[in-house]
Amino acid sequence: MFTSPRIVGAVAIVITLVLVVGWIWNKAGDDALNQVERQNNAAGNASDDHRSRFDACPDGMWDFGAQKCRRP
């Protein structure tokens, strides 16, 4: 008679722990995805900026080593 409430209590505690750990795991995954997305956006913006500078440079004036336009 006393073992049945103990088993129910233990199962309830285990279920609660599993749900809490699952929620933390999910939250950590979301944070990691957001961080990667921010890094990708920053890389894309930097690429767009460099491409714009290259396109604005007159033909033959781009210095690939320095990654900038050589103005006369």
Predicted confidence pLDDT, tens digits, the chain (72 residues): 456 888 888 899 999 999 999 988 888 888 888 889 999 999 999 999 989 988 888 888 888 888 888 875
**Tokens 């049945």 — which residue?**
4
**Sign of the C-alpha dihedral computed for residues 13, 16, 21 and 22 taken in this order:** positive
Task: Tally the C-alpha atoms within 13 A of residue 11's C-alpha that lie toward its C-beta.
Answer: 6
pLDDT at 4: 87
Query: What's the confidence (pLDDT) of residue 29?
Result: 80
Distance separating alpha carbons of residues 60 and 25, to the nearest angstrom: 53
Residues 6+ apart with CB under 8 A from 57: 69
What are the residue boundaries of the structural domains of the chain, listed by start? 3-69
Taking a C-beta distance cutoff of 8 angstroms, is the pair 71, 61 a contact?
yes
